[in-house]
Amino acid sequence: MTVSAPTFDLVVAANRLPVDRVVDDEGTSTWRRSPGGLVTAMEPVMQGREAAWVGWAGETSENGQDLEPFTVDGIFLRPVGLSPKELEEYYEGFSNDTLWPIYHDVIVQATFHRDWWNTYRMVNQRFAEAIAEVAAPGGTVWIHDYQLQLCPAMLRAIRPDVRIGWFNHIPFPPVELFAQLPWRRALVEGLLGADFLGFQRTADAGNFLRVCRRLLGMATKADTVTFTPPGDDTTARRTVRASAIPISVDFRGIDALSRTPEVLARAAEIRASLGDPKVLMLGVDRLDYTKGIRHRLKAYEELLQDKMIAPPEVTLMQVATPSRERVDAYRQLREEIEGTVGRINGEYSAIGSPAVYYLYHSYPRNEMAAMFLAADVMLVTPLRDGMNLVAKEYVTCRHDLGGALVLSEFAGAWHELHQAFICNPHDIEGVKQTILRAINTPVDERQRRMKALRKRVATHDVQRWASRYLEALASAPFRPHRPTRASDMERRGAERANRANQRRSDNASEEVGD
Ligand code: ADQ
């Protein structure tokens, strides 16, 4: 007898499960929740609901067979297995060497391989089947990111009863770039299996709708697209809504962490160990060519060259998180960055005061918070970035209203964080001037800016993002009904009238008495 898997009202699907395997000294292995932002975002909406998460567990197996489902911190986890070849072709290949460059302005050339595409399709199908297995009848499924763009339509084919949402964490490219993809139609049709498509910026949703209209000849109206799914008769038209719901950070959690005595002490310790510089600048990025690390280093090097700044009074700490080390472009980038850091240090460091402190590591959350608190100027200079959570985390940690954020206008975060010191990372002269401005702006003006930035993130945190997304998904293709100020006043007026009526009729019955 086969035991059918349990099913859940809410299913989240992402390339990775939110856990890592840890093996202790005795060789016993357990699963530990990974510290990623998506888990934090999902936690409040998953708690108190029957919820499951479908994703890859982070280790390959020879034939790509699935591990048995397991539960961590109350979330049912349904692993999807990948073989080494599948990981190489679906994840490193098609996701990160084809889609990633196309979706980030082709900063490096994209690679097209038909084999990669076939594996991408196969793996998406496997995800769709795993989701179908654990989704309750009429349940809600929230699929994440560019690795799973075919999944919505594949899932709908198996389970037309469920409500399907997809959220893109990275930008969606302009039609001219998307058009390069030999599999462009299949990708769009894959996405259109969803009821609601969420994007970081209105411009990304607009790009998607333009692709539907211009490239595929579909009808779009406001933020919706109406089309006939392939293979269906022409009467089976569907309307899908595509709109921006920008992601954020756990403001309350990070703010509380950054106020703890341990983090405050550690921030002071970091500064002291760097020789208490007058100005500590900080960069924190995954080592990715989209993050503009080279441009930032170039601007910094020129400022040193021009003698506008000098260590030890001004210094830069660059934290780079290891990333996609098996993809060529990432290996090359690492060599280039480390070469540049070596050159700058050779030229401008003195004994005991390096010009750049370069750290190629991952750090726990409290250490990150301490670094943010220690930094006088935070440099966030991507050439293209869906959102950039580092920018939001930095302002969240600055409850002291200290620090200054230098932010690229090509980060999604720029659309919300207008009080940052804005720069165009391609304009090296402009970046240099912006850095100097961030250093030299009077304290009260910097505090005013930081206060405004914090207010924005505090009122638009990740919990709000998740609940807004689910509301939009529930009411798609229509916008969720939110009481407007006028309708709210009308409702309150009606409630007052009702209460008055009630009182009158209560009094009346008292008067009549019996
Ligand atoms: P990423 O490209 O990974 O995310 P980002 O938004 O900056 O970029 O998130 C990085 C996360 O990793 C942050 O939470 C940061 O604190 C953390 N991190 C960075 N370096 C670290 C280190 N050395 N040690 C520990 N933690 C580190 C993608 C998109 C973004 C989008 C997010 C979320 O590319 O544009 O903002 O998804 O949607």
> Residue by residue, what is the 3-state secondary structure of 111-150?
CCCHHHHHHHHHHHHHHHHHHHHHEEEEEEEEEECHHHCC
Among 381, 387, 415, 461, the mutation site with the greatest number of ligand 1 atoms within 8 A of its Cβ is 387
Q: Whose CA is nearest to atom 16 of ligand 1?
A: 390
Tell me, using a 6 A CB cutoff, whether residue 363 lines ligand 1: yes
Question: What amino acid is encoded at 169 in this protein?
Answer: H
CB atoms within 10 A of CB 185: 13
Q: Whole-prediction pTM value?
A: 0.92
Q: How far apart are CA 476 and CA 224, in angstroms?
A: 9
Q: How far apart are CA 47 and CA 25, in angstroms?
A: 32
Question: What amino acid is encoded at 462 in this protein?
Answer: V
Burial string for 468-479 (b: 16+ CB within 10 Å, else e) reads bbbbbbeebbee
Tell me, using a 6 A CB cutoff, whether residue 169 lines ligand 1: yes
Sign of the dihedral through C-alpha 470, 40, 96, 292? positive
Closest CA to 282 of 390, 196, 386, 207: 390
Cα dihedral value 190, 199, 134, 152, nearest 10: -10
Q: How far apart are CA 69 and CA 54, in angstroms?
A: 9
Q: Whose CA is nearest to atom 19 of ligand 1?
A: 285
CA of 391 from ligand 1 middle (Å) equals 10
Question: What amino acid is encoded at 469 in this protein?
Answer: Y
Report the chain's terminal Cα–Cα distance, integer Å: 69
Tell me, using a 6 A CB cutoff, whether residue 390 lines ligand 1: yes
Contact 35, 365 (CB under 8 A): yes
Q: How far apart are CA 296 and CA 435, in angstroms?
A: 10
CA of 105 from ligand 1 middle (Å) equals 19
CA of 362 from ligand 1 middle (Å) equals 11
CA of 170 from ligand 1 middle (Å) equals 11
Tell me, using a 6 A CB cutoff, whether residue 387 lines ligand 1: yes
CA of 215 from ligand 1 middle (Å) equals 32
* 3-state SS class at 197: strand
CA of 216 from ligand 1 middle (Å) equals 33
Tell me, using a 6 A CB cutoff, whether residue 40 lines ligand 1: no
Contact 128, 147 (CB under 8 A): no
Give the number of C-alpha atoms closer than 13 A to the C-alpha of residue 16, restricted to the C-beta side.
14
Tell me, using a 6 A CB cutoff, whether residue 248 lines ligand 1: no
Contact 249, 457 (CB under 8 A): yes
* 3-state SS class at 239: strand
Atom of ligand 1 nearest to the CA of 411: 35
Q: How far apart are CA 321 and CA 324, in angstroms?
A: 10
CA of 419 from ligand 1 middle (Å) equals 21
Among 282, 286, 323, the mutation site with the greatest number of ligand 1 atoms within 8 A of its Cβ is 286
CA of 421 from ligand 1 middle (Å) equals 20
Closest CA to 6 of 97, 139, 98: 139
Q: What is the pLDDT along the chain (514 residues), one digit of tens a residue?
A: 455 779 999 999 999 999 989 898 888 889 988 866 677 778 777 877 889 999 999 999 888 888 899 999 889 999 999 999 999 999 999 999 999 999 999 999 999 999 999 999 999 999 999 999 999 999 999 999 999 999 999 999 999 999 999 999 999 999 999 999 999 999 999 999 999 999 999 999 999 999 999 999 999 999 999 999 877 676 789 999 999 999 999 999 999 999 999 999 999 999 999 999 999 999 999 999 999 999 999 999 999 999 999 999 999 999 998 888 888 889 999 999 999 999 999 999 999 899 999 999 989 999 999 999 999 999 999 999 999 999 999 999 999 999 999 999 999 999 999 999 999 999 999 999 999 999 999 999 999 999 999 999 999 999 999 999 999 999 999 999 876 666 566 656 655 655 555 555 444 433 333 3
Contact 36, 17 (CB under 8 A): no
Contact 304, 344 (CB under 8 A): yes
